Structure 1
Amino acid sequence: MKYLPALFLLLTLLSSCNERQNNKDPEGSSIDNSNLTPAEAIANRYGEANWDRVSQLNFSFNVKSGGREFKRSFQWFPKTDDVVFTSDTDTIEYNRNATLDSLALYADKRFINDTYWLLAPYKLVWDEGVSISEEKNVIAPISGDTLHKLTILYDGGGGYTPGDAYDLYFTDNYAVKEWGYRRNNADKTSTATLWMKEKNLNGIILNTHHQDSTGNFQLFFTDVSIK
């Protein structure tokens, strides 16, 4: 699967959940992370093990920034990788396994961007061509809380825009509280946002609202459903 850093389109087109206690998942059942890497434990906490039951994911991707707003919607059928992209001006249907023409490529870049925001914990274990590292007890850039940091670097040379990095700040219970995007793996964070709301869809845990430290930039998902 091709990947695209999640903020690339936002930068070019315009630009937490509650911590679970006692090492329990959102449904209250115990999670055994003893044999998992931090990346696997984060994906597990968000229900990646349940993904093989999903035959369809629907969502709308919304951004409010600088007084402007936009929205686009997707239907994704992961078993076949068929995608339906809908915006104010276009409806594009394509299969991600086929050769993509210019219209399908246009839609797919947005699909990769938008699903990265929605499924980032799963990308930690799905994506190839990455390096992952962890630091314990670091200061998160927005809240100032002491959290752990997992960095995923797209250094494999493939995809639409390789070389970017993401820093995910997470609790002892592997709940992501905020993250930062570093274009081309720069030392300075390009954009940082909070992870603010969760939606539990039959064990698939999705974060549906992000905003920066000022609240002037908000990215959120509506019309989210799975089959």
Structure 2
Amino acid sequence: MKKPLLIILCLTLFLASCKTDKKQKVADLKMDLSILDKVANAHGFDQFRNVKEIAFTFNVDRPNSHSERSWVWNTITNDIRSINKGDTISYNRSNMDSTAMKINGGFINDKYWLMAPFNLAWDKNNITYDHESDVPAPISKNPMQKLTIVYGNEGGYTPGDAYDFYFGSDYMIKEWVFRKSNQPEPSVTTTWENYVDINGLKIAEMHKNEDGSFKLYFTNIKVTSKNP
């Protein structure tokens, strides 16, 4: 009787050890993530692999003016459909003529506003970054973490640009600053608010400057999964 009990005890201890090792490995993996990955994952970057298509309308309101343009992006084939002022143009990002290149500049800009946290992971080989833990945010003045990224001077549509991201312990962006060509003065400063969770992607629908005279926001957001 003693021998079977000893075997059962050994198996129990072995299984418990395996579970502990697995939890430790997951914990170690989380600790090894860079600040870029932590911010990206907080916004659902790890779910992007399940996405087939993203559609959205990019809106900008300024005093006495409103502009908008819509996009449909097939993330698998990189086919883009642009809908702007009643005109629809389709192209593939792997084969662009001069017209498509010009339109694609708008797509890159609008997609960046929509998914900037994901670009922290996508662009990590083309940026340098600095992370501070307790810095007053530019609009709310609340103490937050600050992540500054600077793009390389070659390639892309706006080489050398810098962005300051402000976020709390949950790594969700609350405010940011865009600084063209890494100049000290802000070019644009806005909030990140009205977050929605669409198929695991956490997207800020609204961005406003301090006095609310500038609003950049998204409508008609649709995320199609590969396996709906």
Give the TM-score category using the shorter length: 0.7 to 0.9
What count of residue pairs does the alignment treat as equivalent?
196
Tell me the residue number matched to 1:142: 139
1:125 aligns with 2:93: no
Counterpart code for 2:159: P
Q: Distance in 2 between matches of 1:116 and 1:222?
A: 15
1:102 aligns with 2:98: yes
1:195 aligns with 2:192: yes
Is the contact made by 1:177 and 1:195 (CA closer than 8 Å) also made in structure 2?
Answer: yes
Q: Distance in 1 between matches of 2:43 and 2:128?
A: 21
SS at match of 1:220: strand
SS at match of 1:148: strand
Q: Distance in 1 between matches of 2:190 and 2:71?
A: 23
* Displacement after TM superposition at 1:136 (Å): 1.4
1:204 aligns with 2:201: yes
Q: Distance in 2 between matches of 1:195 and 1:33?
A: 25
Is the contact made by 1:130 and 1:156 (CA closer than 8 Å) also made in structure 2?
Answer: no
Counterpart code for 1:96: R
Is the contact made by 1:92 and 1:103 (CA closer than 8 Å) also made in structure 2?
Answer: no
Counterpart code for 2:205: T
Q: Distance in 1 between matches of 2:74 and 2:98?
A: 21
Is the contact made by 1:134 and 1:151 (CA closer than 8 Å) also made in structure 2?
Answer: yes
Whose helix fraction is larger, Structure 1's or Structure 2's? 2
* Displacement after TM superposition at 1:121 (Å): 0.4
Choose which of 171, 175, 179 in structure 2 pairs with 1:178.
175
Tell me the residue number matched to 2:26: none
Counterpart code for 2:49: D
Counterpart code for 1:175: M
Identity level (%):
38
Q: Please show how residues 1-227 of structure 1 align to structure 2 within 5 Å.
A: 33-98=30-95, 100-127=96-123, 128-227=125-224
CA offsets, 1:23-80, max 9 Å, x none?
Answer: xxxxxxxxx8422111100111011001011000000000001211001000000101
Structure with larger RCO (C-alpha < 8 A, sep 6+): 1
* Displacement after TM superposition at 1:90 (Å): 2.4
Q: Distance in 2 between matches of 1:85 and 1:54?
A: 19
* Displacement after TM superposition at 1:130 (Å): 1.1
Q: Distance in 2 between matches of 1:206 and 1:35?
A: 25
Runs of at least 5 residues in structure 1 that lack an aligned partner in the other structure: 1-31
- Displaced runs of 4+ in structure 1, greater than 2 A? 32-35
CA offsets, 1:97-134, max 9 Å, x none?
Answer: 11x21221121000000000000000001014111211
TM-score by length of 1: 0.83
Q: Computing the radius of gyration over CA atoms, which structure comes out larger, 1 or 2?
A: 2
Q: Distance in 1 between matches of 2:86 and 2:102?
A: 13
Taking only aligned residues, the RMSD between alpha carbons, in angstroms, comes to: 1.4
Runs of at least 5 residues in structure 2 that lack an aligned partner in the other structure: 1-28
Is the contact made by 1:129 and 1:157 (CA closer than 8 Å) also made in structure 2?
Answer: no
Counterpart code for 1:45: A
